[in-house]
Chain A
Amino acid sequence: MSTLIEIITATDPALRDRSLDAFAEAAGLSELLAECAALDAFRRRSDNLYERVRALFFLYAIHRFHLPAKPGMPARGLIPFAGYEHLLSRRFEEAIATFRRAWDEQGPNQALSSALAEAYHRLAFQTLADQVRRSVRTVRGNQWMFRIGHPADHPLRIRGELLVPGATILRERTPVRMDLSHSAWSDIFFLGMDFPEGARVLNVSIDLAVRGRDAAPRPPVEAYLRVIDEPVLRLTSVDLGATADLTHLRDVFDFARDYLGLLKAAVIASGIVPPGMEGAGQPLSELLARLVGPGKGLELVSSVNDIPKGSRLAVSTSLLACLIACCMRATGQAKSLTGPLAENERRLVAARAILGEWLAGSGGGWQDSGGVWPGMKLIYGVLAEEGDPEYGVSRGRLLPNHKILDRDDASDAVRQALQDSLVLVHGGMAQNVGPILEMVTEKYLLRSEAEWAGRRDAMRVLDDILVALRGADPRKAVQDIGRLTTHNFFGPLQTIIPWASNLYTETLIARARQAFGSDFWGFWMLGGMSGGGMGFIIAPESAERAKGALYDIMLTTKRELQHALPFAMDPVVYDFAINPTGTQADLLCEADALMPTGYYALHAPRLVKLDQRALTPMRRADLDRFANATRTRREFSGMTKALFDRLLPRLAGDDAGPGGASQLEELLEAFGFDRAQHEHIRADLKSGRIGLAQNRLPANVHVEDVSAGDPDSDPGRDVLVNATDRRRLADFERIGREAMRDGQVAVMTLAAGAGSRWTQGAGVVKALHPFAKLDGKHRTFIEVHLAKSRRVCRLYDAPVPHIITTSYLTHGPIAAYIARRPSSDDVPVFLSEGRSVGLRMIPMVRDLRFQWEEMPQQILDEQAQKVRESLHAALIAWAQHAGEGSDYTDNVPMQCLHPVGHWFEVPNLLRNGTLRALLDDYPNLRYLMLHNIDTLGADADPAMLGLHIARGACLTFEVITRRVEDRGGGLARVDGQVRLVEGLAMPREEAEFALSYYNSATCWIDVHQLLAVFGLTVADLGDAPRVNAAIRAVGARMPTYITLKDVKKRWGHGQEDIFPVTQWEKLWGDMTALSGMKSAFVVVPRLRGQQLKDQAQLDGWLRDGSAAHVESLCDWA
């Protein structure tokens, strides 16, 4: 029997918890291949969810990490496009079958391993997600909602108390939850369902106030519900300033059309519009007539009192739970209309919140609706028993149990001491924690040794915190908690997920420690990752002072790092109080039947504009009550100004200042914006001469794969040289070393880009992102590249200057960063400032449709896909409304500009004088190694330099063997000419899958030959008009690509919207297509050529040896 199957099926925890890594590292290639075959057969025949999923994760990890590292595993292979299409369409089983057939035909290779790894990984998560969904649907109390398909069958009725004549509003107020221990993300459903013993969370319900803004802490999340005299479902989100009257069932299921997705999810998950009615064609009034009465409707309003997004306090899940609780009470699904909920009702609210999150295409952990329960509680996983829907499928139940801590578990004094010492903050960062939650699941199932030890350590931390809470001395209890949570953050949490921390958080901790000395008792991480919601535990006598001081520390640190890390807002300090009641409802009647103030700011101006006769009696009465409240109630006293601001919006010109249109014009002027070129591109775009479809090479072009020379051929002659075997490069290395010592080479790092994928369009400088800890410190991309140059300088005793190219977006922050370097640093740095900028445009609907409907798209999980389709429809409407092809100016100015592609960065060297300056300082300089900011493994390797010199090429490009994640063109023979083809230019999507090699974007340049291509000599570099004319002439021969990029628009309190915008670019790889260009191509090892495009790649990069390889190339001194 296979060893790995024995591990999976073992009942003895000692065997069952063995790590895959320990086995796989010792096993040989053939043994691992045999295990793969056995595991694949096993996961197909096993009925047990856990066994299937663990086998899938084992298969993923073997293909992703272990097989590629085994000697004798070929690198090159072709991934069948059909399999890739299956992957995109979420047909994972079919994808696996296709890849395995290719495996049988081609033999094992790293390309197919990468594709299989991806398919197994995603099938594992799909299997887990399906199980969660099944469990939520089968929770008793939820099942009926999936059976009801017609309004006439609706079995709910609104409670009589809400139908009495006169004004009545049901208000639900819910605290948010705080995780007192951070129990290593053990509330992830998958973990709780397999390892209920380890799924434990100490969860506290809290009221919040934003310090300096709100008077006192209160339940931050509120829902309001009332019956109205119109047959509509009126939804309003006060915080997002959105409202809509829904009249059709399909509107309720259209989640991304507006900002009301969460309210719609609550309406569905509470059974008001049961999920079984999705697709029903009846008007909503029919359902409302049955539910509320003929001619009547419902109004649901949400408010989170402007608590910023990303607080890590589960505000959105708490709001969802609050809305669901309110709707359930109103329809008699909870016994009590007012007051707290019963335990079984809270559990149902929690289950329905999970359902609602799934419906709206989001998801959190099972502790996130903890605010529904009162006070402090231990939430823990439970073994599935007979009668549970999970019984026989998974070890644990989907829904955990809640044990509310009593006075013996945590005395009032300890609770108060905790309140007095904890400073709760929002650091201002808002990041997507989705990848982190996936990593946690994966690492748990693989039981990698360090991470598994970390998890057990985190479990002990929770036990120790429970002991501390029982302590008699409150001061000591809080000190102990501070010590434990700090240990948790720096120990187990970062062992399991290194990405939970970041430079910002660790700088804050260090500065807080310095500022408060012995009064600093600890740091406390909240939620998926740090940088947003966090806690600092300070001696109570200093805590009040610390709130002000911490705010200043956070603001200063944020300003230092704002170009490097994605901040959504300025930091915030909260006041908080433990909420002893959990969610509560009350009835607001007659004069008290008022919605929150923000509701009237949104609705009253619209109503005032209407003809009086058009108002329903109820709306008139509501306006009356509101008018009266503005005279008599303090909280409504400032409403007059707010109303006038809404009624008479300020003119756009009033905003000219930071962020205004005039500033954009100034920036364009300053960055050398070419208006004539812009208008020319716009005209071409609107007329259809350029566009996404036009990026492609003609369909009749012949695109073929290129083969590297066989091992015995002369590397000096082949068009594609295989340089992956170092032993064969000794001669080239010698040539390279000599050139280096002679001062003939410089490194050129491209750092002009915005790194759109890296931070989903947040507009930070990727080059300065402190992306990972290397040698014990967070390092930026630039730091790594300079450390490699430093090593080369020292190792070969050669001066290797380092050029960093910048753009309008990156120049200032990078220049400041370089200026802060110690003067002793021996790497000479030259900044080459970009002189090209584009202005983004509203996309053409034609291009949006091409991107979303004609290009192969990753299909999402069923519900997420529905949400995405709804969003696409909304974005198409936005593009039409805003004007296709018009300038994109509805954002902060820097987000309206775009870099115009890295082709311009080399000519910029000529134009801005950097090359001339370099040649003045290093007259022997002849070669440049150009590389992307994210190609971390590329260094000035003398062997590569020697090869380039020996080939005598103008440009030598480094390529790597393709893996499934390497999308975007490759090396091809196009109508007989060997060149690089961009992904955008591929005549057909599948053509890319016939290419074995992917462009690493590292390129060796012979400076003199390149100048000749531009028709220049070194002597011409001082002649600006001549240089400009030469660049324009070559530029005109380069294709212009139209691309769609995501850009973030930030608004409100940490809210972000993402818009697709059109921009254009010219790319350096197209130089290989120039007639007469002498290009060469070299296959390099993956560790050297791979790029980090997405933060989700970081974990694999750390685990597969890439990070260690990069460290070995660096000299940090």
Chain B
Amino acid sequence: MKITKAVITAAGRNQRGLPLQTLIDRDGAQKSALQIIVEEVLTAGINDICVVVQPGDERAYAAASGEHARRLSFVEQREPRGYGDAILCAREFIAGQPFLHLVGDHLHLSDDGDGSTCAQQVVRIAEAHECSVSAVQPTRESLLPNYGAVGGKRLPNQERLYLVDHVLEKPTPTEAEQTLIVPGLRAGYYLCFFGIHALTPTVMDLLADLAASDERSAFTLSDALAALLHRERYLAYEVLGRRYDIGVRYGLLNAQLALALGGRDRSEVLAQLVELLATRS
């Protein structure tokens, strides 16, 4: 399995402006969030990228992607039918191929010692195991209302790799505790989605089934993944890295600090922070 395409979703009602936000990347350059996400995709060797946007947003996004604009295709999600439907909008673009999917409101920073980005790690695992792989991160139960989460068993002789047996979207801790059991994980922690998935084309079929089953209701990617594990082998990979949700309160600030402290300007930013702290106290 070779992944050559990627889908970035940015059509959410409350997140349409997020990828357009400007940050200073680790290399000290000023970039939009979209540019940073696109560059994450590029590191995985994927050059064919589709961005799902709300109607009328294409121009702004194209502008925000700077030099990468030529690599991007844009698809509009005409009705707000949810996250699952947004991915389904890219079905034609995918054309029956496996694809990498990133959400447009998260930035990812790798902690991998060998320098692999998060997207690289996920693609490598998916290609090696020839199946869908979702990047996950152990997350405290108090954050469950924000994420999809999986339960499963560790694959023998594999580090940080799980065979998924349950998927739930934003579960309550009650459901999570009963269903999302992962041996070896600390109590009160669950494997929540990281915002990066490497998916087989079956996921598109499942999304299409969901779209067809009920015209009115919104559906999520988790609904399709919950069905996927009954059809195909589906793995979760505990990625070496961190995700930053720029859609939450102080999310953008947090992401900016993480980028700055993980990059070229670390000393400068640290010095400013110390000065700030000293002044405020």
Residues of A within 8 A of B (CB): 140-145, 147-148, 152-157, 271, 328, 331-333, 344, 348
Contact = CB atoms under 8 A, between A and B. Distances in A.
B194 to A, nearest CB: 19
A144 B145 contact: no
B213 interface: no
Contacts of B178: 140-141, 344, 348
B145 A328 contact: no
B39 interface: no
B141 A147 contact: yes
B177 interface: yes
Contacts of A142: 174, 177
A335 to B, nearest CB: 9
B262 interface: no
Given A144-B177, A331-B172, A155 B145 contact: yes
Given A141-B175, A157-B145, 5 more contacts: A144-B173, A147-B141, A148-B142, A153-B140, A155-B145
A155 B143 contact: yes
9 contacts: A141-B177, A142-B177, A144-B173, A148-B142, A153-B140, A155-B142, A155-B172, A156-B172, A332-B172
Contacts of B45: none
Contacts of B176: 144
| Those 6 A-B pairs whose CB atoms lie nearest each other, nearest first | A153-B142, A144-B173, A333-B174, A141-B174, A141-B178, A155-B173
A348 B187 CA distance: 19
A149 B82 CA distance: 33
B203 interface: no
B173 A156 contact: yes
Interface in B137-182: 140-145, 172-178, 181
Contacts of B145: 155-157
B165 to A, nearest CB: 15
A153 B142 CA distance: 5
Which of B142, B174, B178, B181 gathers the greatest number of chain A CB atoms within 10 Å?
B174
Nearest to B173: A144
Contacts of A152: 142
Interface of B: 140-145, 172-178, 181, 187-188
Nearest to B143: A155
A157 B181 CA distance: 22
Given A152-B142, A155-B141, A147 B188 contact: yes
A141 B174 CA distance: 4
A194 B175 CA distance: 29
B141 A348 contact: no
B93 to A, nearest CB: 31
Which of A148, A153, A155, A156 gathers the greatest number of chain B CB atoms within 10 Å?
A155
A271 B174 contact: yes
Contacts of A156: 145, 172-173
A141 to B, nearest CB: 5
Nearest to B176: A144
A333 B179 CA distance: 12
Contacts of B175: 141, 333
Contacts of B141: 144, 147-148, 155
A155 to B, nearest CB: 5
Contacts of B142: 148, 152-155
Contacts of B140: 153
Contacts of B177: 140-144
B187 A333 contact: no
B3 to A, nearest CB: 34
A143 B172 contact: no
A143 B144 contact: no
B175 to A, nearest CB: 7
Contacts of A348: 174, 178
Contacts of B174: 141-142, 144, 271, 328, 333, 348
Contacts of B143: 155
A332 B142 CA distance: 15
Nearest to A150: B142
A225 to B, nearest CB: 16
Nearest to B171: A332
A1099 B181 CA distance: 48
Given A141-B178, A155-B143, A333 B188 contact: no
Nearest to A344: B178
A541 B177 CA distance: 53
A209 B106 CA distance: 58
A147 B177 CA distance: 12
Contacts of A155: 141-145, 172-173
A344 B174 CA distance: 11
A333 B170 CA distance: 11
A331 B174 CA distance: 10
A328 B172 CA distance: 10
A148 B143 CA distance: 12
A328 B176 CA distance: 14
A144 B177 CA distance: 7
A71 B173 CA distance: 62
Nearest to B144: A155
A157 B143 CA distance: 11
Contacts of A140: 177-178, 181
A138 to B, nearest CB: 10
A515 to B, nearest CB: 52
A143 B189 CA distance: 12
Contacts of A331: 172
A39 B281 CA distance: 66
Contacts of A145: 173
A144 B188 CA distance: 7
A142 B187 CA distance: 12
Nearest to A387: B181
A888 to B, nearest CB: 48
B166 to A, nearest CB: 13
A330 to B, nearest CB: 11
B281 to A, nearest CB: 23
B204 to A, nearest CB: 26
A145 B173 CA distance: 9
Which of B173, B177, B187 gathers the greatest number of chain A CB atoms within 10 Å?
B173
B250 to A, nearest CB: 14
Given A154-B142, A155-B142, A157-B145, A147 B187 contact: yes
A145 B177 CA distance: 11
A351 to B, nearest CB: 11
A157 B141 CA distance: 13
Contacts of B187: 143, 147
A928 B172 CA distance: 75
Which of A141, A153, A344 gathers the greatest number of chain B CB atoms within 10 Å?
A141
Contacts of A332: 172
B192 to A, nearest CB: 12
Contacts of A147: 141, 187-188
A582 to B, nearest CB: 19
Nearest to A328: B174
A804 B256 CA distance: 92
Contacts of A148: 141-142, 173
